Amino acid sequence: MSNLRNSTTARWTALILLASMMFFAYMFVDVLSPLKTMLETELSWSSSVFGNVTGSEYFLNVFAFFLIFAGIILDKMGVRFTALLSAAVMVLGAAIKWFAVSSYFAGSGVETFLNSFWPAFPASAKLACVGFAIFGCGVEMAGVTVSKGIVKWFTGKELALAMGIEMAIARLGVFAVFRISPRIAESFSAISAPVLFCLILLLVGFICFLAYFAMDRNLEKELKAQDTAPEDPFKISDIGKLFGSRTFLIVSGLCVLYYSAIFPFQKFAANMLENRLHISSTEASDIFSWFPIGAMVLTPLLGSFLDNRGKGATMLIWGAVLMCGCHLVFALVPATAFSPLVAYSAIILLGVSFSLVPAALWPSVPKLVEGRYLGSAYSVIFWIQNIGLWAFPLFIGVVLDATNPGVTNIIAAGGAATYDYTLPMLIFASLGILALLLGLWLKSEDKKKGYGLELPNRKA
């Protein structure tokens, strides 16, 4: 039967509306990543403080189990309601984080209150943690919602391609923010300027979700009118089935290991390049900005390949191999040989890795679980992933301070000093090795049990 989902224009419009918000969200996620040195000199944030703030994005998702609740809300209330809720939460958290790093916060009663406890941790960082944790609830909820929304509109059609394009658009947000964030901060001589810019973009994304709300409601009406057979209703007990599935847990473990070597690295990458190549923050950000370009270009192509040819488990394995190799380059290539060309080559190769894994990972989940608790399945994977995304920025920040004693104080005082990133990069590489082992295990499980991870997604 004909419905909006069968209209090429309608379903791709729905995808663009969903992806637009993720583009803006990814910009906000990394808006401070290129500004680590500026944060040290202007706000006295050490590497440990910076790691705590960047890791706080995932704190409530992990320890308050918000992502689990988000999946339940999604499966109970549907894509439309959850999309708008996630957008509102993102805007609220982003606004708090902007206030924390703005001139309005300095000298305010809020700063005085926050300085009254744990004085060793800057008050601006404390409030930024609160705002980023709230924002993190919204952005992870949005990620789960967008994934289920794409499955809703593209099942039996170009599912992996659609997910690949959504991820490509989101990755473009990373490219954009690494390009513009340091320039906006320098132009306005204010760390808060790029944060405010991204906050305004999130409001635009909220409008995109409102437009999607109307489209999705029309699709729902058509499906009900056509008396499409409904799925069995979601039950809370369904979540237990996820934790009882060995293959699902392997996928979740691979996800947390792989992404823990990508997103936390993303927070420190510009500063690593700045120190290894002895260049400015802006120049380092420009180099790293090319990281998502490989993923942006290749992910849709690989998604199309996955739809038509399959080989999902194999793609996961090769993605882990490439990621591990790139981090070893950053860790072990001697300073005399580590040139901008080497840096560009490793960054672009890492982008290729980052196209292989997401392109194969997320479209594989519907092959492992029933549709009625697909939202909860994505949420559980995201929750497990968030444990690593919370822990590793903190861990890397502590490792940097421990292996580079006194460097933060020298930089904060206006002196010249560089960080040695060898050990942090070896830590990231070790995660790639573990992800590779899980990828091999997953392929073996698929071969034994026939989940179809190596088979095409598209149905004839």
In tens, the pLDDT along 86-123 reads 999 999 999 999 999 999 998 888 888 888 888 889 99
**Confidence band of 370 (pLDDT split at 50, 70, 90):** confident
Q: State how far the alpha carbon of 100 is from the alpha carbons of 104, 184, 252, 451, 456, in Å.
A: 8, 18, 34, 48, 48
Helix (H, G, I), strand (E, B) or coil at 190: coil
Closest CA to 442 of 264, 303, 293, 314: 314
First to last CA, the chain: 17
- 262, burial (CB in 10 Å: exposed 0-12, middle 13-18, buried 19+): buried
Q: What is the pLDDT of residues 63-81, one digit of tens each?
A: 988 888 888 888 788 888 9
Give 373's DSSP letter.
G
Contacts of 447 (CB under 8 A, 6+ apart): 454
pLDDT at 148 over 90: no
10-449: CATH superfamily: MFS general substrate transporter like domains (1.20.1250.20)
Rounded mean pLDDT, 135-144? 92
pLDDT at 258 over 90: yes
**AA letter at 320:** A
**Confidence band of 449 (pLDDT split at 50, 70, 90):** confident
Contacts of 285 (CB under 8 A, 6+ apart): 34, 178, 179, 181, 182, 270
pLDDT at 460 over 80: no
Indicate the domain borders of the chain: 10-449
pLDDT number for residue 413: 77
255 with 384: CB under 8 angstroms? yes
pLDDT at 18 over 90: yes
